[in-house]
Structure 1
């Protein structure tokens, strides 16, 4: 029986190899597929190995969400409905009447209402301007409010930067150090330190697709994060994050049915996504986790079709 399973996994790996070659997906560096936390398929390209690190880009956003969940579990924050002005004093100074209405949950769902213009082809003048300033929080507090908080989802960097600052204020720790202590170390993940702004906010996404930000993890590290959520927040028998937070983080919001708490949601899956094709995909009904890492280019890329191929091929091989 075991040999039969290994044969099917090998055949699935060959199907994926052939498909990636036929589609000329030259930027893909790794593809991993787990079922019941067991590795089914592990493929590397472009001289990548299981030790190779790849920029994770906006997967960092989902990691920050996990950090907030751990803060909630451990009592560093009382509720996701708390206004952020309790932690970030600059939003408590009446710069705008909406500032005191922004809650932690609004940041998690990207519904803060703060104006954002992402630019084109990953060139973001607003983000570049922020990175030239000395006081990021003062700069963000000066940006106009476009909407009442909670009304509209707008995918943007501001809300995640503010969450990073909030974690630091709530815990008294550098946000990287907090995530490293309470998430990476328990999962045996090795991560470089995140970049820190002049005012002390740790930040982990470059402002261009080729920016050498310190957001590099190997494919197996990403799989640990996916399997952590699939396994109801447990790793090696230890509860890292609560089931209740995972459930809430992966539930659609009223403002965007395809988004939870910095986690993307789809038909039968939820996961983390980063520019250029980086992805952690959790498929609860199949007890599977899929990982894709790729070299980002200026045009970006998504490899949704590879997961569809896996589902189709698995049914055929069963």
Structure 2
């Protein structure tokens, strides 16, 4: 068959149209605007899930200072060191292919988001690696931080990956808080906690906010500028987030870098501080990860790094680089896709990412014990 110039041009034009259409499959909202679609467009119905979220509000006080003190009352020496904020009511959004298909509550209200902050923190670590500020996540952190934070036979073995997977067993004190005083066993005494046997870095998972804050401080030393500035410039501005979010540390979590006093932020709200953010900005962040780090044809985070971040760690199959994973394990949501991953915070704050179905689900102030039932209603 003879191919004419005209037919070749038509073929190229058709190919361009197909490629362009594929690239536009995912919708990316502009600043201050979000296109809505009826879920029936996608043969979906989220009405029961929305009603459930609205009816199962987090049962503790809206005065989050009181809720925090009650929630961590068994920890020795626990105190509020950073800002807190009275919370709003249940709120949430569901995205399909980037389009807003369901929402409830005040999605523009800025609230604390507690340990969801950890997934923002781990993202800054991925950026540091992408920018070659960290040569290898298997590198020992002692080679990057100038002071004595990682000195000693035990702490000097700790790598960036250990901190990201929360299996470093870092031992020490930071900003007046001790690692052993964070979520200690209630069957032991303070002397037991102080004199505990250390685990070899990389062999024992322990959810521990002091060690998470050590990661934040270490990244501050690597970037040599505040992590909120890094996040704003590299992630939040490019995804058209609002200007209302704040990432805060403690009253005493200040360091001097290059002659400038900078706050080292916290990785959650365990002692106050952490990420203060609205539901819509959380959904934008989830959409970025749903699309493998690409926002409207701009690769903000390496796709390979995102894939690495959501792999099960050796010490906890349900935990990656500060993202929870729905794989086989004690924290799995049964009968749900094993590729789902999510950020989770105190008080029922969640960003849930389903890359197979192109879904992002954000829910706030949902009673934590009800989240699995809520998820089942999403997919039923």
- Per the TM alignment, residue 55 of structure 1 is displaced from its structure 2 partner at its CA by 1.1
The separation in 2 between residues aligned to 1:293 and 1:216, in whole angstroms, is 12
Q: Which residue of 1 aligns with 2:268?
A: 205
| In structure 2, distance between residues paired with 1:287 and 1:153 | 31
Q: Aligned pair count?
A: 279
Q: CA deviation at 1:8?
A: 6.3
1:278 paired to 2:338: no
Evaluate the alpha carbon distance shift between residue 227 and residue 149 of structure 1 in structure 2; reply closer, same or farther with a 3 A threshold: same
Query: Shift of residue 31 of structure 1?
Result: 2.0
Distance 1:151 1:282, change over 3 A: same
Q: Which runs of 5+ in 1 are unaligned?
A: 121-125, 127-141, 313-318
The Cα offsets for residues 99-134 of structure 1, whole Å up to 9 and x where unpaired, read as 2210000000011123534348xxxxx9xxxxxxxx
- Partner of 1:64 in structure 2? 121
Inter-partner Cα distance in structure 2 for 1:92 and 1:274: 27
Q: CA deviation at 1:247?
A: 0.4
Structure 2 residues not aligned, in runs of 5+: 1-36, 61-88, 171-178, 185-189, 256-262, 327-337
Q: Is residue 153–residue 256 contact of structure 1 (8 Å, CA) maintained in 2?
A: yes
Cα distance between partner residues in 2 of 1:215 and 1:24? 21
Report what 2:286 is aligned to. Answer: 226
User: Cα offset for 1:91?
Assistant: 4.3
Alpha-carbon separation, structure 2, partners of 1:193 and 1:62: 13
Give the Å deviation of 1:92.
7.3
Partner residue in 1 for 2:134: 77
- 2:52 corresponds, among 19, 30, 33, to 19
| 1:118 aligned to which of 179, 182, 191 | 182
Shift of 1:180: 1.8
Match of residue 33 from structure 1: 94
Change (3 A) 1:151 1:221: same
Does the Cα contact within 8 Å between 2:283 and 2:361 map onto a contact in 1? yes
Greater mean deviation of Cα atoms: 271-280 or 19-28: 19-28
1:234/1:256 CA distance change after superposition, 3 Å: same
How far is 1:26 from its partner?
Answer: 6.9
- In structure 2, the partner of 1:179 is 231
For 2:38 and 2:246, how far apart are their aligned partners in 1? 37
Change (3 A) 1:274 1:6: closer
TM-score (norm 1): 0.78
Q: Note the C-alpha offset of 1:198.
A: 3.5
Q: CA deviation at 1:51?
A: 1.6
Q: TM-score, normalised by structure 2?
A: 0.66
CA contact (8 A) 1:56 1:274 kept: yes
Q: CA deviation at 1:218?
A: 1.1
Counterpart among 204, 208, 228 of residue 156 in structure 1: 208
